[in-house]
Structure 1
Amino acid sequence: MAGIDRAAWTGSVRDMTTPFVPETVLPSQLGGRQPQQGERLLLLAVLEDAVDCYRKCRGSRDPALRLLFDETRAWVESRERDTVFSFENLCEALDIDPDYVRRCLGEVGEGDRRR
């Protein structure tokens, strides 16, 4: 390595790897994304799925659909807050009154029975 300048050689290796080093991304660089927007959409999707299951499976004679309804009803009626995705915690995170949702689901069921 008689003709190679050692300082220049190590510098070129360092320069070559620079593009592969990730840059820091600041929250302001994310294009106006609302804080926790993705998390909120996930919670809304969970609630929407529960409402759909409750409405579509209520009164079903199919054992699998009946089981799905029973599980959904138990989740909605539960007052526990021991898990992140408990009904009470989910409603609180979305700033929704859980008792209001319960009343609305009960009214949907009453309307279905009157038909």
Structure 2
Amino acid sequence: MVQSLANFEEKAIFLFQPDTLAPEQFLKDVPHESFLGAETKLMLAILEDAIACFQDYFLARDRKGRALFRSAANWIFAEPSDWLFSFDNISEALGLSPDYLRNGLLSWMEVKLSAHSKTSHNISATFRAGRKRSSGIFLS
């Protein structure tokens, strides 16, 4: 009985010892597509959400919309960082150039601003034209 208890204790010690594996030893038995696929999907979802918030709320007037735009813009245009989920790291992990994406978003912004100011100008010109008095003075 004492012998079997000693054998049990020896085996129990090995049960609760930490397994030490190098990452390549662990990963050799894990299907790479599913393991990396989930990480890639998460990174892509984060990037898509940030770009969507940036574009959807670019000209937002409400507090929530401006906050969402500001948050996305701060993340996209932040200085390069070692943080795993930084814009640069996610872009590079997905095989995209962070600078190319930033430049594309800046170009998109310029086009939107230009179109917005033309539309705003046309709307306000139309509004003013409709509000003229017979004397030619604008009512504002």
The residue that corresponds to 1:111 in the other structure is 111
Where in structure 2 are the equivalents of 1:66-105 lying within 5 Å? Answer: 66-105=66-105
| 1:35 Cα deviation from its structure 2 partner | 5.0
**How many Å separate the matches in 1 of 2:80 and 2:90?**
11
**How many Å separate the matches in 1 of 2:63 and 2:42?**
28
The residue that corresponds to 1:48 in the other structure is 48
CA deviation string 1:35-72 (max 9, x = no partner) = 51110111001000011000000011111110111111
Greater relative contact order (Cα 8 A, min sep 6): structure 1 or 2?
1
**How many Å separate the matches in 1 of 2:98 and 2:105?**
11
**Bigger Cα displacement from structure 2, 80-89 vs 69-78:** 80-89
List runs of 5+ in structure 1 lacking aligned partners: 1-25
Q: TM-score, normalised by structure 2?
A: 0.57
| 1:34 Cα deviation from its structure 2 partner | 5.4
Q: Which amino acid aligns with 1:96?
A: L
CA deviation string 1:60-103 (max 9, x = no partner) = 11111101111111110112313211111111211211010001
Please give the secondary structure, in 2, of the residue aligned with 1:85: coil
**How many Å separate the matches in 2 of 1:84 and 1:75?**
13
Please give the secondary structure, in 2, of the residue aligned with 1:60: coil
**How many Å separate the matches in 2 of 1:86 and 1:51?**
14
Q: Which amino acid aligns with 1:67?
A: A
**Bigger Cα displacement from structure 2, 60-69 vs 79-88:** 79-88
**How many Å separate the matches in 2 of 1:102 and 1:110?**
12
The residue that corresponds to 1:11 in the other structure is none
**How many Å separate the matches in 2 of 1:71 and 1:38?**
25
The residue that corresponds to 1:62 in the other structure is 62
